[in-house]
Amino acid sequence: MNHSPSSDISAATSPQAQAATGRRPGTGIGKAMTIPGQVVSVLVLVLPLLVALYMSFTDWSPTRGSLFDASFVGFENYSELLVYDTRFLYAVLRTALISIICLSLEFAFGLGLAVLFMREFRGKSLLFSAFLTPMMILPVVVGYIFWMLFQSNGPINQILEFLFGAQACVEWFRSAPFAVTAVIITEVWHWTPLFFLILLSGLNSVPENPVRAAVILGASPRQVFWRVVLPMLKPVIIVAFVIRSMEIIKLFDEVFMLTRGGPGSSTETISLYIYKLAFNDFQLAYGAAAAFIVLIGSLVLVHMLLAPVRDQLLDGGR
Amino acid sequence: MTQPKLELVNLVKEYENGDVVAVDGINLAVEAGETIALLGSSGCGKSTTLNMVVGLEQPTTGDIRIDGRSVVGVPAGKRNVGLVFQDYAVFTSMSVRRNLAFGLEVRKTPKAEIARAVDEVAELLGMQDKLDASARELGGSELQRVAIGRTLVTRPSILLLDEPLSNLETAARHAMRQELRRLQREIGLTIIYVTHDQVEALSLADRIAVMNAGHILQVEQTSRICERPEHVYVAGFLGSPPMNLVSGKLAARKDALVFRSTAFDLPLCALADLQAYPGEQTFSLGIKPERIALTNPGKGMISGTVTLAEPRGHESVLSVTVRGEELKVVVPVESQPAEGTAVDLILPPDALAFFDGETNKRTDILPEGR
């Protein structure tokens, strides 16, 4: 909290100062040099997005000629999705439910692990690497591994049988609640390490003195953690949630490998539904509209999540 | 004699199984209502001492007594000792009010009582209108006020302040210095400052304990410590510029006692005046820059050349080089000679201090009344 030096720096790099340097003569070459990058971003980002946006307002299907021959239907796809398509609605609700449960569990386990790793114990660095491993495995591979684990005669059922007898065995992919549970277990196993890693680095950067001050003021370790440490972690926690919620809204690979959305559509996530629309039913335009609804929904969600800490994050961490 | 508020008895703190000794057997008694400064450069063990008093660290050996009772082993937070950190360590996620209330909230004090205590402290610190502001919005001196207030709410019997002014700008420092003195008078707290800044120590404390390398070298009334340093480190640390220190030997020449250094010989007194001849040991001769007088060449005790003159308001600090040995001399700015001028120096015998070369402690060599 070095007030005078930091205020000096912020004065030098204030918006006015930056604007002034931006208007400096001779930056034409600089701007020219950004053109290749801008061209690439227009080609791979903006253009496909615009095409998809246009597509979402048509009734195009690849089996029926060119996109530009398809008839323009306005907001028909959108109104169909939002008003009549209960399968879409359920996919959204299901994804939301799975996300909330997964993120809560990942946060709880990640925080618990991070707190444990703030202490010294034997084998810490080995365990640290081990705990981070799941995160580095491809989602498809994780999905395949757990698909094998959850087979009716697979290791998980064998363990359950060994512990609790044959009646404890579960046909994981034949009943909706168990299929959802399997998806959640897989997802939590896969991504708890990310929460763990982010929260651990957050805990490590929590300044020491407020914690010591709280101890001196008579706070118990529990009070120190909940009242002082956790509030200081808030920006980090929110960033972790933003990153993870962006990922989990797009949940696809693991579910595809585990259940293909079944049984019925009981594990069908938004991504899986859009995939089926596009590549099973060839309703690409309709799928594009669904994707745009999800995009707008995620944008709103991220902004809402970030709102309480936006100033803090943009303010250089004060 | 009344019981001291805080007593440190042979306090030792070692790290890494004794390889590093941060605090090496210090003894200190702080009276109730007194303001004392632990003064020393960084790494001298003052912060470690502070941490042990407050309970963040446990002493290796020795005892800490508050009101006569040992608090070693009593957890921090149960010692009734407050600590204000150098960086204030205010809880930025809370409002000023919640910050102030924190110490009582965690003790499960009734809400009405907390509100009353918070209002009282806010009034004392002039922060009533800031109570609902977020701590994140506060400036340096306000943060410090919150840090102090947060501690005062818990009614500590001893308040420890770690470098209380060093993070403030000059104007805020002056205001805060006055405020701390006022608080101290109004509440009658026992305050211990830890600082590396002698101006801060001199302006705030009743007594100063100078620390170096894990030892307390001298504890003295603030008004006297500059006048009579008892240790060569204290002599070279206090004052701006600090005391000139020249090492040399005592020798008898004819019938006079002479201080001989590589740079100059200084006759001290007649041998006959001495009760005992101190012998040929090494001594450091100390003299304050203010006590050296300039005179024309040939008229003083030792001759030198002014190599640097630094005007400093109404006075000027001269560096006078005497055959390789540099002495600082403070003169009024109007009588400041130009750089390069040859001058003679007069060192009044009653301004001289001698420090034993072995023990580094002050020894009186010259007879009284000189």
Domain boundaries, chain B: 6-225, 239-285+350-370, 293-346
Q: Does B312 touch chain A (CB under 8 A)?
A: no
Q: Best interface-test mutation with B: which of A208, A216, A232 has the largest number of B CBs within 10 A?
A: A216
Identify the pLDDT of residue B197: 85
pLDDT, one tens digit per residue, over A92-126 is 999 999 999 999 999 999 999 999 999 889 989 99
Bridge partners of residue B36, in order along the sequence: B192, B207
CB-CB under 8 Å, B147 with A213: yes
The continuous run of DSSP H or E covering A56 comes out as none
Top-confidence residue, B182 or A182? A182
pLDDT, one tens digit per residue, over A292-305 is 999 999 999 999 98
Q: Per-residue confidence at A17, pLDDT binned at 50, 70, 90?
A: very low
Q: Which residues of B touch A3 (CB under 8 A)?
A: 139-140, 167, 169
Comparing A60-69, A231-240, B188-197, which segment has the lowest mean pLDDT?
A60-69
A179 contacts: CB under 8 Å, gap ≥ 6: A172, A173, A258, A259, A262, A263, A266, A267
Measured CA to CA, the distance from residue B262 to residue B329 in angstroms comes to: 19
Residue A14 has pLDDT above 70, yes or no: no
Measured CA to CA, the distance from residue B355 to residue B360 in angstroms comes to: 5
> What are the backbone angles phi and psi of residue A251, rounded to the nearest 5°?
-50, 120
Q: What is the mean pLDDT of residues A29-37?
A: 88
Q: What is the token pair recorded at B93?
A: 């996620």
Mean pLDDT of chain A: 85
Counting Cβ atoms within 10 Å, is residue B231 exposed (0-12), middle (13-18) or buried (19+)?
A: buried
- Order of all β-strands in the sheet with B282-287: B265-270, B256-260, B244-253, B282-287, B353-356, B362-363
Measured CA to CA, the distance from residue B122 to residue B132 in angstroms comes to: 11
Pick A228's closest partner by Cβ from B91, B147, B154. Answer: B91
The continuous run of DSSP H or E covering B69 comes out as strand B69-70
B293-346 maps to CATH 1.10.260.40: no
Q: What is the mean pLDDT of residues A159-164?
A: 88
Measured CA to CA, the distance from residue B129 to residue B131 in angstroms comes to: 6
Identify the pLDDT of residue B113: 87
Q: Per-residue confidence at A25, pLDDT binned at 50, 70, 90?
A: low
Q: Per-residue confidence at A2, pLDDT binned at 50, 70, 90?
A: very low
Measured CA to CA, the distance from residue A211 to residue A213 in angstroms comes to: 5
Q: Best interface-test mutation with B: which of A217, A223, A225, A237 has the largest number of B CBs within 10 A?
A: A217
Query: Ramachandran region of residue B318, left (φ > 0), alpha (ψ -120 to 50) or beta?
Result: beta
Q: Which residues of A touch B140 (CB under 8 A)?
A: 3
User: Can you give the pTM of this predicted structure?
Assistant: 0.75
pLDDT, one tens digit per residue, over A203-234 is 999 998 899 999 998 888 899 999 999 999 98
Break chain A into its structural domains and give their ranges.
86-314
Comparing A5-9, A139-143, B204-208, which segment has the lowest mean pLDDT?
A5-9
Write the DSSP symbol of residue B3: P
Residue A18 has pLDDT above 60, yes or no: no
The residue in chain B having the minimum alpha-carbon distance to the alpha carbon of residue A234 is B93
A284 contacts: CB under 8 Å, gap ≥ 6: A55, A60, A61, A62, A277, A278
Per CATH, which fold does B6-225 belong to? Rossmann fold (3.40.50)
Residue A179 has pLDDT above 50, yes or no: yes
Measured CA to CA, the distance from residue B46 to residue B24 in angstroms comes to: 11
Measured CA to CA, the distance from residue B206 to residue B201 in angstroms comes to: 9
Q: Which of A92, A101, A195, A179 is nearest to A143 (CA)?
A: A179
Q: Does B328 touch chain A (CB under 8 A)?
A: no
Identify the pLDDT of residue A183: 92
How are beta strands B20-30 and B158-162 bridged, if at all?
A: unpaired
Numbers of helices and strands, H then E, in chain B: 8, 21
pLDDT, one tens digit per residue, over B260-306 is 888 888 888 777 677 666 667 788 889 999 889 888 888 888 888 99
Q: Best interface-test mutation with A: which of B93, B138, B157, B168 has the largest number of A CBs within 10 A?
A: B93
CB B159 within 8 A of CB B151: yes
Residues making up chain B, counted from first to last: 370
The nearest CA of chain A is from the CA of B308 a distance in Å of: 32
Counting Cβ atoms within 10 Å, is residue A201 exposed (0-12), middle (13-18) or buried (19+)?
A: exposed
The nearest CA of chain A is from the CA of B299 a distance in Å of: 51
Give domain A86-314's CATH architecture. Answer: Orthogonal Bundle (1.10)
The continuous run of DSSP H or E covering B363 comes out as strand B362-363
Q: Per-residue confidence at A142, pLDDT binned at 50, 70, 90?
A: very high
Q: Does A104 touch chain B (CB under 8 A)?
A: no
Q: Which residues of B touch A227 (CB under 8 A)?
A: 91, 102, 106
Q: What is the DSSP secondary-structure string of A241-264?
A: HHHHHHHHHT--HHHHHHTTT-ST
Q: Which residues of A touch B83 (CB under 8 A)?
A: 212-213, 216
Mean pLDDT by 10 residues, chain B (370 residues): 81 86 90 89 87 91 90 87 88 87 88 88 83 82 86 88 80 79 81 87 88 89 85 86 88 82 82 68 88 86 89 89 89 87 88 85 69
Residue A194 has pLDDT above 80, yes or no: yes
